[in-house]
Amino acid sequence: MSRQIVLDTETTGLSAESGDRIIEIGCVELMARKLTGNNLHFYVNPERDSHEDALKVHGISNEFLRDKPKFAEVADDILRYLEGAELIIHNAAFDVGFLDKELERLGRPQLASFVDKVTDTLAMAKELYPGKRNSLDALCDRLGVDNSGRTLHGALLDAELLADVYINLTRGQEALLIDLGSVGAEGEGATRADLSGFDLPVLAASEAELAAHARVLAEIDKASGGKTVWPAADRPAAEAVA
């Protein structure tokens, strides 16, 4: 069973290369596309102040972070938690860039050497919704994910929202669950048929079937006193049969 970790960070600014640091990391675990409750969350002392613009985004004061652990103190816990998992991140290059820089300061390998792979939900959204806004808030609105509690950015809350967004973005149906009744032990009454390898044909209605359909429309229209709501283009055939 594949293990997925939805990850988000908050930072002192926008440029890891210019010395900005991670101040918060939040992760939620998915197993079989369901939240397990096995989350990871740290506030981190960045050893520098946040930029004013960044403070407006996350609202985490410099004073609040003074007594929090430094990244070096929590790095092993973070890497153990992430090890071997698929990471799901919105605008992955940003968060991975900051994590790689923190690991570089400690003389550790880059994040990619600890995890299975990284999936960028921003890239997925741009492919699905080209030309549209694809921020986390925009995707929550588009996909019906409740983000009413998100007045400021927070890594754990944003990771939880992104998990919901990811599930909605990847909800394509590739299999049918076929009910076989209550045969066998509990949980054995259904089997999954994989349809991904089949090219299912499209069968058009025959002339006889179209004529039969028109007769049914006519009967319904007549019974309703001409109050049916289907397009007027269908009415002549219906009236002719009536």
**Which conformational region is residue 221 in: left (phi greater than 0), alpha (psi within -120 to 50 degrees), or beta?**
alpha
| Burial (CB count <10 Å: 0-12, 13-18, 19+), residue 8 | buried
- What is residue 159's three-state secondary structure? helix
Cα separation, 85 vs 69, in Å, equals 24
Sign of CA dihedral 159, 165, 171, 177: positive
Q: Which of the residues 41, 51, 58, 153 is marked catalytic?
A: 153
Query: Which DSSP category does 205 fall into?
Result: P
> What token pair was written down for 88?
């799901």
> Does residue 153 carry a catalytic annotation?
yes
Cα separation, 10 vs 112, in Å, equals 20
Residue 149 and residue 157 in contact, taking contact as beta carbons nearer than 8 Å: yes
- What is residue 242's three-state secondary structure? coil
Show Cβ contacts of residue 228 under 8 Å, excluding neighbours closer than 6 positions: 217, 220, 221
Active-site annotation, residues = 153
